[in-house]
Structure 1
Amino acid sequence: MKMRSWLLGSVWRVASSVILLTVIGCNWAEIGYSVPEGPLPPNTILFSQMMRELSATPGFTDAMLAHLNEAQKNGPALMTPRLVSRLKRMMIGRDWQGMNRFPGWTMRALNPTANIANRLVNGRSNGPDGAVEEPAGDKKSLEEAKKWVDVETYPLDKEVTISLDEPSTLPPFSTEDVMTNVGAGVTVRDGADPVRAPMHPESQRLVNVLNRVSLNGVEGSAVATATIGGKNATTPEALIQALMDTGHTVVVHDGRYFANFGHFHFHGQEVIMPFWLNMQMLVPGTVRPLLVPASHAEYEWQVRGPKINADVSWFFGVDGKAEFRTMDSLSQAWVLGRNAHEYRGADAVEVTRLIGRMSVAYAHQHIRRPELPFGGYYPLGVCQDAVAAIEKKMTGKVTLFPITADMSLFDDPRDEEVNALMRATPNDREGGMPEPERVFGSLPTTDFNAVTIPGLAADLVATHNAWENGSLIRTPNWVGKLAAQLISGTVLTMLVVIIALVVRKRRKKRQVTAS
């Protein structure tokens, strides 16, 4: 009995020692970490501060959530019903601190809330033997494709020739077309970029033409031809080459930004509202994981020349559209911006060719799977996926996170080149720990001190330094290590005690036998 008591006591002492060492090694002040709400740059306010001021306004919380449900369809962040519910609880409960790092989830936690689209993918896209059904290329298919790509008035079922030799006659940029007044001093979307907005007529026409010639690759589409300076183009890459051949300079940028979740302005101030993700890295000197705003990535074409001056972009957005877009609005200062890669000449043409293939592949997805919510955003990838796939082809590496495409959906043999590009990229659907290179590579700046979101710059600097010097600790790995220490210490103690008991018992037995 005494021996058993001693055994239990030993086990408890070892376990207590490990726990005590764990506690001593933690900065418990960080457990109650208060998210900084300053300093803030001029003319800037946090979303939590805006909501704190507006929380007393009757009905405004519901109005804000209703607007988020609608407005986020044109932005780079995804709000599932579960996330909307969580944000609503924060608003009602006045959890301003939680709102400052919303949602703060790992990909493993986020994936189930965003995978609702997978449950709606059924067998009607495939034949009875599992083979891909070839869309008929009929009018219905073309109408479905046109819903997801802005081609303005250019028909898909009729041949069309579009001349770019004369200036665009499209109307100028107007903030009335994009900005919405929610009330109580809150407006949504951003104003005019003083450099890009004046180019809107040319940019919008170039967007329409690039999108239209992209859809030449969709079965049943009549051929659209763009002409400039005597050069004809029926593909996006051919159009870019024609622009170069007629004296235009074309530069393609791989742009990285912090995703602007809300695009809110409050009494004229820019509202910081990112979508935070847990990067599963321990911020040195704390017991906090590194939380980083979700990033946005896109390809951007800067065209300058004798006939056309335009800036256009391409990305797959939460609106479900994988298309060329204008870039007229002025981004809020806190989202920053970085050109991770720059392509000219033949490389610019090749990136454009691959983007054209991506446009066709996503058009095929929309025709085959029109039931996907958000146009397939998340199961077909987010804005980073296509950019990362092309980055891998052009540079041999991927520096973007997260990547969410469900590769089982990329099974159309007509798009095998795109399928192969997507398969070659890392994938975060299983919620594994993201590589630091992709986490830091996704950021919109390499100068972390330029980040103006309160508290983030110091966390990035410290964590990046730890990664570089080899002292980075991953979470929840550190919890696992502590648990392993506890278990191994306890098991070792038990083995030692058992061996001691056996030895002692044998000694007593020999003593009895000898006597």
Structure 2
Amino acid sequence: MSRNPDFVEALYKRLGRDPRAGGILGPDEIKRLRELVLGKDFEELDSFPGMTVSGLGRAVRLAAAAMDHPANESSPQAGAAGGAAIEEELGFPAVGDSPAPDTYLRPLGFGLEAGDRIDPVLAERYADSLRLSELLNRLSLNSPNGGARYRIAVEGGRLVETPNALLEAMTMTGHDLEVRDSRYFANFGDLIYHGRDVLTPFRIDTGLPVPGTDRTLLVPVSHSQHEFIVRGPVVNADLSFYFGIDGEAVFRPSVTRDQAWVMGKVAHRARCHCGT
């Protein structure tokens, strides 16, 4: 940053205006960033500042207002608002192409990219992963009190109405299912610089003073998700269920690779083998 003033100016233009263009900062944060850059306080820039819970809430509201998400009228939930119940076939093995290697990468200029790389191994199973995610999400919209709006026809023509029933039907037809309760460090930056991953840990400032210092306690933000791995004669899929920064708690096809620094730990694991 000290050697490239053009980069600094481009950074100022991006931040605080459009979250799609790289982020959003308020005037106080931009002022602080300018002071650090102009003062060449690079030790301070090498660490990511912690945000208080109230500050984080304010930032989320700013970003939400800037994004201005319209209601998704084409969602399965909207389509099932009235009329007869929808019945679908399983549709496996699914047909479709895996995403291109740069599908989820955005060039930011100056050798920086933001986003995720495609995992070539997961990409081989992407079509099945996407299809199974869609089916589970649609079934999850059914009311637990009956009157299902979605039904999926499994082997033998039997109709299932819940995600659990669909997964059970798969295990009874020769498929193995593993569910992992996995934990990671949260990666909101997803930055790559000249092909190398950039560590962007995010921390919450608790406001609690650390004894013997002039700082407060920062704790790393974690990410947790349930990972579903299905292997069998027809369906081979990898998907995850988690609450994302898009504001949705849904099943998602797993197709990108995690940056190494987020690490990962399986806290709990459950397996269901075919026929059991």
Q: TM-score range by the shorter chain?
A: 0.7 to 0.9
Change over 3 Å in CA distance of 1:283–1:106 after alignment to 2: same
Are residues 1:104 and 2:54 paired? no
Identical residues among aligned pairs (%): 34
Q: CA deviation at 1:208?
A: 0.9
Superimposed CA distance per residue, residues 1-34 of structure 1 (whole angstroms, 9 cap, x where no aligned partner): xxxxxxxxxxxxxxxxxxxxxxxxxxxxxxxxxx
Aligned-partner Cα distance in 1 for 2:216–2:8: 36
Are residues 1:324 and 2:251 paired? yes
Are residues 1:208 and 2:158 paired? no
Are residues 1:278 and 2:205 paired? yes
SS of residue paired to 1:161: strand
Match of 1:337 in 2: 264
CA contact (8 A) 2:102 2:118 kept: no
Unaligned runs of 5+ in 1: 1-50, 73-78, 121-142, 347-515
Superimposed CA distance per residue, residues 55-114 of structure 1 (whole angstroms, 9 cap, x where no aligned partner): 543631135426871278xxxxxx7x6x5445423432215434444332443x536635
Change over 3 Å in CA distance of 1:191–1:116 after alignment to 2: closer
Aligned-partner Cα distance in 1 for 2:16–2:254: 26
Spell out the pairing of 1:87-486 with structure 2 (5 A cutoff).
87-93=29-35, 94=37, 95-107=41-53, 109-110=54-55, 113=58, 116=61, 144=71, 151=76, 155-156=79-80, 157=82, 159-164=85-90, 166-217=92-143, 223-230=149-156, 231-279=158-206, 288-345=215-272
Aligned-partner Cα distance in 1 for 2:161–2:43: 53
Match of 2:11 in 1: 61
Larger Cα-atom Rg: 1
Superimposed CA distance per residue, residues 213-254 of structure 1 (whole angstroms, 9 cap, x where no aligned partner): 1122399x9722223323432111111111111121111111
Superimposed CA distance per residue, residues 139-187 of structure 1 (whole angstroms, 9 cap, x where no aligned partner): xxxx95766x6x59x9435543332253111222223432112222111
Change over 3 Å in CA distance of 1:216–1:290 after alignment to 2: same
CA contact (8 A) 1:61 1:91 kept: no
CA contact (8 A) 1:300 1:313 kept: yes
Structure with the higher strand share, 1 or 2: 2
Aligned-partner Cα distance in 1 for 2:2–2:224: 31
Aligned-partner Cα distance in 2 for 1:101–1:249: 44
CA contact (8 A) 1:101 1:275 kept: no
Aligned-partner Cα distance in 1 for 2:270–2:211: 37
Aligned-partner Cα distance in 2 for 1:204–1:232: 21
Tell me the TM-score normalized by structure 2.
0.77
CA contact (8 A) 2:185 2:223 kept: yes
Unaligned runs of 5+ in 2: none
CA contact (8 A) 1:283 1:289 kept: yes
* Structure 2 letter corresponding to 1:195: V
CA contact (8 A) 1:55 1:91 kept: no
Superimposed CA distance per residue, residues 441-493 of structure 1 (whole angstroms, 9 cap, x where no aligned partner): xxxxxxxxxxxxxxxxxxxxxxxxxxxxxxxxxxxxxxxxxxxxxxxxxxxxx
Change over 3 Å in CA distance of 1:332–1:59 after alignment to 2: same
Aligned-partner Cα distance in 2 for 1:203–1:114: 33
Q: CA deviation at 1:263?
A: 0.8
Change over 3 Å in CA distance of 1:269–1:53 after alignment to 2: farther
CA contact (8 A) 1:258 1:274 kept: yes
Aligned-partner Cα distance in 1 for 2:60–2:13: 26
SS of residue paired to 2:167: helix
Aligned residues: 260
Aligned-partner Cα distance in 1 for 2:21–2:6: 23
* Structure 1 letter corresponding to 2:160: A
